[in-house]
Amino acid sequence: MYNQDNRNLVSALGVTCYLVSATGNMQGVRQLGTLFLGAALLLDFNSAALAAQTGNTKSWKDVEPQPKFLAAVYGMADCVNVPPAETVLPDKKNSLQTKCNVVEDPDTPGSYITSAASFPNNPIAQQQLPAWLRQDRTENFYLDALPVSLSLPFESDHPGHEFFVITTNKGRNATSLFSGAVPANEPNELNSIALAGHFGDGMTGSEWPMKVTIVGDVFLKDYFTGERINANGMTARVEDFPDMRYMNANAAPHLVQAIIEPLDSGVMAGESSTNMPLRPGVYPNHCRAIWGNDVTHRIRVMLSGGATLNGVTQVLATDEVFKVLKKSGEALTFGANEVFMGLADLGNSKTKRIADTVNFFDLCLIDPSKAIVSDIGKVQMPCNAIKLYYPRGTGVSVNDGKVIWNGCQDGSIDVIHSPKMNGSTSTAGSSTQAPGTSSSAASISKRMFLGLGAQCFLRSLRD
């Protein structure tokens, strides 16, 4: 069954291909190519088998309750796929900070970090990009980011960029140039997909998204039943999601979903346990890896978008960002040796900021008797001592030292109790707790193996 660890394995094997070729062992490279192509063939059969398990697909209109958009955020302007040479810090600080968020690293005074992003140029990662984004076309650079989050997870971590159309206040329809779950790329984080393209004019403030429409067969997977749902026709509007307007001063991360569930094998199947070769130190980042095997439950909190202290710097697992409230309104005590131990899904350390920089946070609980977790009613994000911002930060670096965005405000949300809290089990098995382990995901792995196999063979011929 596909999961994030399989993808990490693909990346590791791809690196192996290049390392072997560097030794001059072209026979070894060809053997690796054969291995990758064989793996793709096996995944083809596995994909068909998985597809047979999905059953009937329903339209989102025919499901009760209907799935819905939980968030749509015009998150960054002109700061996705910035040419890597322009993001070198501190050399390019003065020019980069005129358009993208640049801040001093709080853990390393005198060093600077940025939320400006570049698509990776290593050939393994490039396989996941549409063909035209691998070219040096002018329109491929300085893209906008628009993450969307739904109440149910997407079946695939690359659901099809061409199926997302953004309509601006000027009546322009812009099709997304890229869609992907990265950085929220663990199988249990597929409610959120980041779109990249040209959606407005950012700080100029004259054009912004008014509507996001799904215009093709994009499939969702119900958490609890495993039901497959076609999201074609679902729409998010700025009237419901004012963070789609870039210059909205109150645009900030806020709570959109909270689910409490026991850490059984199905839940743990959605967690990554190994690191990708070019991204060490992130996994495992689940509750038990951070707080020990005594953790019995977690509340999986989803925010409207990536949330950090300044647009770049992640909070720590020991930071009291959230409060867990009983149905009476009483807050659980926060900290080690309490029921509410702390946070996870931030990186594989309590004390280091090696984070996965996404909009998901795990609240880790120890309650083997279930007496307290069954009485949990809400999660609150006070936003007083700890203020969170979207990746664009406060706006200080791009606005001559003046704050544009105010950061998060106090808010709370009802906690959804998983059916497994009552000992119920889903007929769909663990796939409902690890959305993304589907035929579409297996197809992605197949394409990656095909690409790696072809690259190995071509490299052996060139060299």
Q: How confident is the prediction along the chain (463 residues), in pLDDT tens digits per residue?
A: 334 445 445 555 555 555 555 555 555 545 554 554 444 444 443 333 343 344 589 999 999 999 999 999 999 999 999 999 999 999 999 999 999 999 998 888 889 999 998 887 766 666 667 776 777 778 889 999 999 999 999 998 889 999 999 999 999 999 999 998 876 566 778 999 999 999 999 999 999 999 999 999 999 998 778 899 999 999 999 999 999 999 999 999 999 999 999 998 666 555 665 555 445 557 788 999 999 999 999 999 999 999 999 999 999 999 999 999 999 999 999 997 889 999 999 888 888 877 656 799 999 999 999 999 999 999 999 999 999 999 999 999 999 999 999 999 999 999 999 988 876 543 333 333 343 344 444 444 444 544 555 555 455 455 5
pLDDT of 56: 80
Residue type, 388: L
User: Would you state the pLDDT for residue 231?
Assistant: 97
Give me Rg for the CA atoms of the chain.
Answer: 22
pTM over 0.85: no
89: in domain: no
CB 416 within 8 A of CB 132: no
Quote the crossing angle between the two packed helices 4-22 and 439-462, to the nearest 10°.
Answer: 0
- For residue 214, the one-letter residue type is I
Which residues of 156-245 form beta strands (DSSP E)? Answer: 164-168, 173-175, 178-180, 192-197, 209-214, 219-221, 228-230, 235-237
- Spatial separation of the C-alpha atoms in residues 122 and 125, rounded to whole Å: 6
Query: What's the pLDDT score for residue 265?
Result: 65
**Cα–Cα distance, 188 to 295 (Å, whole number):** 18
Range of the domain at 199: 56-81+117-248
Q: Can you tell me the distance from the alpha carbon of 190 to that of 275, in angstroms, rounded to the nearest whole number? A: 18
403 token code pair: 């704050």
In sequence order, the 6+-apart residues with CB closer than 8 A to the CB of 439 are: 47, 48, 50, 51, 54, 155
Decide if 151 is inside a domain. Answer: yes
Residues 3 and 76 both lie in one domain: no
Is 391 contained in some domain?
Answer: yes
Q: Is residue 333 assigned to a domain?
A: yes
CA-closest candidate to residue 160, choices 170, 147, 172, 175: 175
Distance CA 39, CA 44 (A): 9
Number of domains in the chain: 3
Determine the Cα–Cα distance for residues 289 and 396; give it in Å rounded to an integer: 36
The last residue of a domain, from among 224, 248, 272: 248
Same domain, 414 and 301: yes
Residues 331 and 204 in one domain: no
Note whether 47 and 64 are same-domain residues: no
288 and 382 co-located in one domain = yes
Contact in structure between 94 and 400 (CB atoms under 8 Å): no
Asked if 198 and 74 sit in the same domain, the reply is yes
Domain-embedded: residue 6 = yes
In a domain, 303, yes or no: yes
Same domain for 384 and 461, yes or no, is no
**DSSP character for 268?**
H
Residue written as token pair 């749509």: 72
Instruction: Specify whether 308 is located in the same domain as 386.
Output: yes
Same domain, 195 and 336: no
Residue ending a domain, among 248, 283, 308, is 248
Q: Indicate if 243 and 314 belong to the same structural domain.
A: no
Tokens of 137: 């076309």
C-alpha distances out from residue 45 to 269, 336, 363, 438, 442, Å? 22, 47, 38, 13, 10
Contact 386, 310 (CB under 8 A): no
In a 10 Å sphere around its CB, with 0-12 CB exposed, 13-18 middle and 19+ buried, how is residue 369 labelled?
exposed
- Residue 120 confidence (pLDDT): 73
In a domain, 95, yes or no: no
Which of 417, 450, 221, 408 is CA-nearest to residue 322? 408
What size, in residues, is the chain? 463
Inter-residue contact 381 to 321 (CB < 8 Å): yes
- Same domain (yes/no): 198, 239: yes
**Structural contact between residues 299 and 362, judged by C-beta atoms closer than 8 angstroms:** yes
HSE (side-chain half, CA atoms, 13 Å) at 238? 18
pLDDT of residue 225: 83
Q: For residue 295, what are the β-bridge partners?
A: none
pLDDT of residue 138: 83
Q: How far apart are CA 459 and CA 18, in angstroms?
A: 9
